[in-house]
Chains A and B, each alone.
Chain A
Amino acid sequence: MNLPPGYFDYPFRRPGMDHGRYAYSNLFKRKPVVWPEQARIALWIVPTLEFFPLDMAPKGVKPPGGLERPYPDYWNYTLRDYGNRVGFARIFRALEARGLKASVAMSARLAERYPHVLHEVNRLDFELVAHGIDMNHIHATGIGREVEQEWVKHSLSTLRRLSGQPVNGWYSPAHSETHDTPDLVAAEGCDYVCDWVNDDMPYQLETKAGPIWAMPHAYEISDLQIFHFYKYKPAQFVEQVMDHFELLYREAATSGGRIVALSLRPWISGVPHRIAAVEQVLDLMLRRGGVWSATGAEILACWRAQQ
């Protein structure tokens, strides 16, 4: 079996990316930005609150944490649900005690099911970010544009109606998009998405509904990656998050304000034996000084005003 001649066609082999979604940009050749009060680091904390339905049947893209044991998988259902009952409360208290802000990504079904969680988000003045309908609705090629459009509209309208917040940020469940996702969320009034993990700063995405921005949702230091996939210990989480912070803190002296994004799943970070590691990194960062705690919308607005 030989390859067809078309295997050696390279239609995008020219300057720039192999798609039109965004332009190439060297992180170190950009205009430095200045954060409020000359902060070196904008600290963007993203607790991600997800609903994993008991009857979910993962097909195609399997979301991390998805239920995969035979029905009824009480083991995994209740472990995830723990996060939305107990874990998130621990994380929120840790943030409140330190006067920190957050952007909370939330499944629309969770907002409907647990009004208390939504109430806490609003009480603490946290930003709400749309995170799809639930973890059984993964935006992946094959679902069809019209279906996806309906999912996007439903996710955003549910969160907006129940919270009273504008909800201008989008984080696709499982970081999964179709070719249409940025176009669809932009058309529904979103300014930014959190799915692209290729940068440490915001950058512009082109969509059919005009430009929106990719926010740097650092995947490599997320609790999902460090604890769930790499299976590291809490002390190693602290080391890595702080190594990440310190390097960006150092760079900020010459390259302008940087962003540290801390992505937290309550079913991972909100358990008793890990929450201290989260509190420790927050304390270490705050003790360093020069840290601006802000929501994604605030960081993006500040950054955009300087472009």
Chain B
Amino acid sequence: MRAEDPGLYDYLPYYDRPRITWPGDARLAFWCAPNIEHYELDPPVNPSRTSWPRPVPDVLHYAWRDYGNRAGIWRMMAAMDRYGVRGSISLNVAVCDHFPDIAAACRERGWEFFSHGVYNTRYTYNMSEDQERAFIEDVKTSIRKWSGQELAGWLAPALTLTERTMDLLAEAGITYTLDLFHDDQPMPVNVSRGRLISIPYSLEINDFTTLFQGNCTPRDYTDAIKAQFDRLYMEGGENGQVMCLPLHPFLIGQPHRMKQFEEALDYITSHDKVWLATGREIASHYLAHHYDAFAAAIATGKKG
């Protein structure tokens, strides 16, 4: 049975919410999420989605993405180091097996590892409950092995999900999902047991939707990032906000875009009252200090 809404969250008016406060009295929690991915040259077929626009081997599109792991990620890392911005990596965990140097460099920097599945060419669509549970376990084990971290966050591989995904994430002890785009603040997610929250990611200032799909020039992209920041920073004076900058090394790590990336980081880090956080830190803080108030406000709203 298909439903007319996801049933994963309830309505909460945007203004007059419980007030979120961040460490250091910051207006805004800023986090940067590089998607470190590998797209297989010849993946198995998922009936709901093909992996490549052209017959295998799709040399053009495969190589385009491979650029990120050979060149782009290293440029991004250097720029983020310069501005003191840690990454929270949206990781296809097989990247660690294929390119252990990338995993090591992220680990050495104290970056957070969160899940973006195994490969970006293995989709969640059509997984049975047991298959999906085992899939989540595989990712958890890999992340523990390569980073020493307990997996906290999940962005579904290629944003492919089932109706069970959120329940299974909560069951596995994962605390935040990035697949819901319904709000600018973290929100409780309705799951069968445990606690799961959504944290704002972004498909609006994502380099994929702007630079790759949206006919947005690098300069326009920087303007969009700054405008997004300015508005959330302003509103953060009233109620704490979150801004995510989701990126792909094969796009933002191209030579002709690095200057714009550096300009965006420079702009953001030159403001005070900005908490340079990771996804996990934002989730932990919200769960410890704000989840209950938000859950109560939502419950009150439901009673009318």
A-to-B contact residues, CB < 8 Å: 1-3, 6-10, 12-19, 24-28, 60-61, 140-142, 172, 174-179, 181, 195-200, 219-221, 230-232, 236, 239-241, 243-248, 251
Contact = CB atoms under 8 A, between A and B. Distances in A.
B25 interface: no
A293 B275 CA distance: 47
Interface stretch (B94-102, B165-173, B224-232, B233-241): B94-102
A15 B215 contact: no
Interface stretch (B28-36, B64-72, B150-158, B186-194): B64-72
B259 A246 contact: yes
Contact of B98 (A3, A7, A24, A142): A24
A198 B70 contact: yes
A197 B64 contact: yes
B57 interface: yes
Interface in B27-59: 38, 40-42, 44, 46-47, 54-57, 59
Interface in B206-252: 215, 217-219
Contact of A197 (B63, B97, B255, B256): B63
A15 B64 contact: no
A61 B52 CA distance: 11
Given A6-B44, A18-B41, A177 B98 contact: no
Contacts of A24: 69-70, 98-99
Contacts of A219: 60, 64
B290 interface: no
A75 B259 CA distance: 39
Contacts of B59: 172, 175-177, 181, 195-196
A248 B131 contact: no
Contacts of B217: 230, 232, 236, 239-240
B70 A243 contact: no
A244 B260 CA distance: 11
Tell me which of B70, B254, B256 has the highest count of chain A C-beta atoms within 10 A of its own C-beta. B256
Q: Which 7 A-B pairs have the closest CB atoms?
A: A244-B256, A198-B66, A198-B63, A175-B60, A247-B255, A141-B55, A27-B71
B277 interface: no
A220 B94 contact: no
